[in-house]
Amino acid sequence: MRIPLNLYLIIILSYLLLGGTADAIEPDADLTELSLEELMGIEVTTPSKKEESLFDTPAAVYVVTGEEIRRSGVRSIPDALRIVPGVEVAQISANEWAVTIRGFNNSFANKLLVLVDGRSVYEPFFSGVFWDEVDTLLEDIDRIEVIRGPGGAIWGANAVNGVINIITKEAKDTEGVFVQGGGGNVEQGFVGLRYGDKAGENLFYRAYGKFFNRGSHENRSGGDGDDDWKSYRGGVRVDWDDKDRDAVTLTGDIYNIDAKRSLTVASLFPPFEETSRVDNSTTGGDLLLRWTHAFSEDSNTVFQTYYDIVDRDIDSLTKDKRQTFDVEFLHRFNVNFLSDHDIIWGLGYRVINEDLNGSFVFDPGQDSRTDNLYSAFVQDELTLIDEKLFLTIGSKFERNDFSGFEIQPDARLLWAVNDHNRIWTAVSRAVRTPSRTEQDVRFVAEGFINPDTRLPTLVVVTGSDDFDTEDLLSIEVGYRARPGDSILIDITGFYNHYENLETLRPGEPFIVNEPIPHLVVPLFFSNGPDGDSYGFEIATKWSPVDYFRLHANYSFLELELEKDPNNTEPRFREGASPNNQIKIQSFINLPYNVELDTSLYWVEKLPALDISSYTRLDVKLGWEPLEGVELSVVGQNLIEEHFEFSDSFIGNATRVPRSVFGTLTWEFK
Amino acid sequence: MLRTFIRLILSFLLFVTFIGVEYACAQPVSRYEVQAAFIHKFIKFIEWPEDALPTGSNVIVVGIIGKGPMVNALNNIKGKEVKGLKIVVRKVSELHELEHCNILFISPSEEKRNTEILNTVKGSNILTIGQRKGFARKGVIINFVVVDNKIRFEINLNAGEGAGLRISSKLLSLATEVMR
């Protein structure tokens, strides 16, 4: 039976108007009448220090907390990002995602920087993120901070449209034993383990391990999508904090991913392309050390260094080994000169070595290459009018081996209208720097028979030293309101102007005689047209009563890329990003320790990729029969099986299935 | 598609509306309102030296330095009477105004000036109250902390004695930590 829409509205409205106020506590309840003991028993809402400072941030920030990740029932980081306004999460296949902010989505979306505990996971060779490699025990995540808009002034190159910071909990917050296991139709078994303890007055540590086995999706013709995968991962974190001046954090992870991919590669012989099930095995690890030292309350330094190694072997494509060593230093201090200044400056150095093997379709140009990145950064947050008006100006200065010197300045103004309202605006420049792919590589994109010459023809995407940085100039305006303790509204509008966007410029075709005579049509990476994008995002968090929380987010995006008659195909197309997205999440506590949590996403069609609009519904029902024990059932994508993106360079797209799994979690000290 | 989506959302709201009726629960209270109520109670359980409270005026001055929601929350206790003293709430921005307070709440926004503020009130009979981790260790007499979503407080007894205040044993026994 279909209930008419207006009937729903009548019922809800009449409840709100008539009954809605009946059971709400009178706002004037006098707490001073209560005794000390009674006061100590009252549960309070506490905006954390983090939330307080987020409210005062002159940038579009959205935070997904570890608790929200647990309650939404997601099993991967990209799925946890679906709720964030302005973020586009498209699952390409079981083990591949395209994630971006404010447009330009791709399996390697190159205008989004992603960091895990301060370590960049943006893959410099491919200019993007391998989302199957970005993982940890999800219960160890403290929060994911998503900054929409340019972050180049702080984070440097490639933080063009946004930055995602995945931050794990301190070891002192994960004391005890954690055991988790479960499985279902797509999640074909997963295990998570963690042990954390105190090893001294100021020393805490934890170690975790996890494994999962995920089944394959269906391909376009309804057959096996050949994208099943397994992932093994383990790691440690040690925190030492003398509670006064010094704190040291050490983190390390190792992982192995055994993924299958359905890969279509071009060939010289009919039918000029081959699709096969290939193995993709990835092994990697990282080690990070961070030392924070406070000279005084107004002056502190952060020294951080990390090493990251990854070895990817994608059959019939490439074997790739990348090592990164990074070291950075930050100093923050406060001075009072005419007004109050919070100054941060820093220096950084990163060296990346990448070894690649070629294949018929892929020629890395140079087998091994080492690149250096030098950076400096300065920012001043000054108080223009006490407690009212704050200005932040800063810039990153970088020198890289591809495009040389880059400067990314940024100015932000925050007006604290009153306790409940903030208005901010920002003007920033950010750049996306070239990668080896765009300067060195030759990649066979397509093969066919030329109808005129009858010659086999290969379209070869070719790197070019001329390819230069893509630039962004962005203007943002934001409004944040906290009309009461239970509601937060955040609205951001932006206008982005891009220059020198990447396109493919056709070159002069030529004949090659090996292994058989064929025609090569080169397409060179080049800087083409300008483009504009504009849009706005609305985020609301509402918790009218302590057993119910609702997050409702909406984003609108319009991309207008200039047409360039010389270019056959721009890398990114207007219709590859949804104009509208609606994201709603609700968390309900029911009696008997039962939690019912629902996430609903509506993503508009992607006409350029032939993807129709879709609705995704995730539901989690959790029950805590005993303290520390949770039994849950999660249904994901319950409404319709659908495609979310097109084929990528490393794998073909598959249909996102309906999925159901059960989980048992046991935690004790 | 969009219609189906709207329908889903409405069904959902309907569902929440109904469980809302069935499962009514207390509205969450902000930590600041509870803290204000605590401050009201502290007056009862703390004794100021006789010369600290101006004779005949019958008021006790609760000062607040810095910005934030605590300013509004203190309005809830304004004008109330404890031990025959009427509570006056005063917003302070300059350090020299501090001396007129009997109680001083230091907002988290004043983190940077914390040492400066404590030095200014040193030796005077002012009950300093904070709500930041580690504040009590730094010399604030009572520091609010949140434990399992409930308001608790730490007491720095040394600082309290330094200010000439007599803190009742009941208050001391309820504190999560008493520093000497």
The predicted-structure confidence for A72-130, as pLDDT tens digits, reads as follows 999 999 999 999 999 999 999 999 999 999 999 988 889 999 999 999 999 998 899 99
Contact assignment for B21 to A19 by CB distance below 8 Å: yes
Interface check A613 vs B, CB under 8 A: yes
Give residue A295's pLDDT.
Answer: 86
Give residue A112's pLDDT.
Answer: 94
How many CB atoms neighbour CB A270 within 10 A? Answer: 10
Give residue A138's pLDDT.
Answer: 96
**Degrees (nearest 5) of the Cα angle A393, A397, A401?**
160
Give residue B138's pLDDT.
Answer: 82
Give the minimum alpha-carbon distance from B180 to chain A in angstroms, rounded to a whole number: 18
Identify the bridge partners of residue A43 per DSSP, sorted by sequence position: B150
Residues A516 and A458: their CA atoms lie apart, in Å, by: 12
Q: Is the pLDDT of residue A19 over 60?
A: no
Strands (E), A267-402: 273-296, 299-314, 318-337, 339-357, 362-363, 368-385, 389-400
Q: Which residues of B44-77 are buried (b: 16+ CB within 10 A; e: fewer)?
A: ebbebeeebbeeeeeebbbbbbbbbbbbebbebb
Domain ranges of chain A: 49-668
Q: What is the DSSP letter of A86?
A: T
Contact B69, B15 (CB under 8 A): no
Q: Is the pLDDT of residue B28 over 90?
A: no
Give residue B24's pLDDT.
Answer: 41
Contact A364, A356 (CB under 8 A): yes
Q: Which of B17, B113, B168 to mutate to test the interface with A (most CBs of A within 10 A)?
A: B17
Helix (H) or strand (E) holding A517: none
Q: Is the pLDDT of residue A434 over 80?
A: yes
Residue A35: Cβ-neighbour burial (10 angstroms; 0-12, 13-18, 19+): exposed
Interface check B114 vs A, CB under 8 A: yes
Distance of CA A69 to the CA centre of its chain: 14
Residues A5 and A418: their CA atoms lie apart, in Å, by: 39
Give residue B109's pLDDT.
Answer: 77
Q: Is the pLDDT of residue B74 over 70?
A: yes
Interface check B17 vs A, CB under 8 A: yes
Contact A274, A268 (CB under 8 A): no
Q: Smallest Cα–Cα separation from A443: which of A510, A362, A367, A505? A: A362
Of the listed ranges A173-177, B23-27, B74-78, the least confidently predicted one is B23-27
Contact assignment for B72 to A25 by CB distance below 8 Å: no
The pLDDT tens digits for A560-616 are: 888 776 655 666 678 889 999 999 999 999 999 999 999 999 999 999 889 999 999
Residues 50-79 of A with CB under 8 A from B: 52
Residues 115-154 of B with CB under 8 A from A: 115, 134, 146, 149-152
Query: Which residue of A23, A39, A52 is in closest CB contact with B41?
Result: A39
Interface check A26 vs B, CB under 8 A: no
Q: Smallest Cα–Cα separation from A139: which of A180, A199, A197, A79? A: A180
Q: What is the DSSP letter of A173?
A: G
Q: Which residue type sits at B55?
A: T
Helix B2-22 / helix A5-14 crossing angle, nearest 10 deg: 30
The pLDDT tens digits for A144-178 are: 999 999 998 989 999 999 999 999 999 999 999 99
Please, which pLDDT band fits residue A510 given cuts at 50, 70 and 90? Answer: very high
Q: Smallest Cα–Cα separation from A554: which of A67, A86, A15, A55? A: A86
Q: Smallest Cα–Cα separation from A557: which of A585, A582, A529, A528? A: A582
Query: Which residue of B5, B29, B68 is in closest CB contact with A44?
Result: B29
CATH superfamily of A49-668: TonB-dependent receptor, beta-barrel domain (2.40.170.20)
Residues A578 and A576: their CA atoms lie apart, in Å, by: 7
Query: Which residue of B20, B23, B67 is in closest CB contact with A387?
Result: B67
Contact A267, A274 (CB under 8 A): yes
Identify the bridge partners of residue A407 per DSSP, sorted by sequence position: A397
**Considering only CB atoms, which chain A residues are within 8 Å of B67?**
387, 416, 419
The pLDDT tens digits for A335-386 are: 888 888 889 999 999 999 999 998 888 998 888 999 999 999 999 999 898 8
Contact assignment for A615 to B8 by CB distance below 8 Å: yes
Query: Which residue of B23, B67, B71 is in closest CB contact with A591?
Result: B23
Q: Averaging pLDDT over each range in A313-317, A646-650, A655-659, B21-25, which range is the top one?
A: A655-659
Residues A88 and A99: their CA atoms lie apart, in Å, by: 6
Q: Averaging pLDDT over each range in A112-126, B12-26, B39-53, which range is the top one?
A: A112-126
Residues A106 and B161: their CA atoms lie apart, in Å, by: 65
Q: Which residue type sits at A479?
A: Y
| CA distances for B157 relative to B134, B140, B143, angstroms | 15, 10, 11
Strands A456-462 and A518-527: parallel
Interface check A256 vs B, CB under 8 A: no
Contact A102, A570 (CB under 8 A): no
Contact assignment for A546 to B27 by CB distance below 8 Å: yes
Interface check B113 vs A, CB under 8 A: no
Interface check B171 vs A, CB under 8 A: yes
Mean pLDDT of A245-267: 93
Contact assignment for A548 to B16 by CB distance below 8 Å: yes
Q: Give the HSE-up count for residue A145: Cα atoms under 13 Å, Cβ half-sphere.
A: 19
**Considering only CB atoms, which chain B residues are within 8 Å of A546?**
25-28
Please, which pLDDT band fits residue A11 given cuts at 50, 70 and 90? Answer: low
Residues A249 and A289: their CA atoms lie apart, in Å, by: 6
Mean pLDDT of A261-266: 90
Residues A17 and A629: their CA atoms lie apart, in Å, by: 40
Give residue A164's pLDDT.
Answer: 95
State chain A's mean pLDDT as an integer.
Answer: 90
Interface check A295 vs B, CB under 8 A: no
Contact assignment for A39 to B34 by CB distance below 8 Å: yes
Domains in chain B with CATH codes: 30-179 (3.40.50.2300)
Query: Which residue of B27, B38, B112 is in closest CB contact with A334?
Result: B112
**Considering only CB atoms, which chain B residues are within 8 Å of A545?**
20, 24-28
Q: pTM of the entire structure? A: 0.81
**Considering only CB atoms, which chain B residues are within 8 Å of A339?**
none
Contact assignment for B24 to A23 by CB distance below 8 Å: yes
Give residue A22's pLDDT.
Answer: 38
Query: Which residue of A486, A543, A586 is in closest CB contact with B12?
Result: A586
Q: Which residues contact A628 (CB under 8 A, 6 or more apart)?
A: A666, A667, A668
Q: Is the pLDDT of residue B20 over 70?
A: no
Contact B87, B79 (CB under 8 A): yes
Give the minimum alpha-carbon distance from A600 to chain B in angstroms, rounded to a whole number: 8
| CA distances for A565 relative to A330, A520, B131, angstroms | 46, 21, 63
Q: Which residues of B120-143 are buried (b: 16+ CB within 10 A; e: fewer)?
A: bbeebbbbbbbbbeebbeebbbbb
Interface check B72 vs A, CB under 8 A: yes
Q: Which residue type sits at A255?
A: Y
| CA distances for A652 relative to A95, A273, A643, A649, B61, angstroms | 11, 13, 11, 8, 71
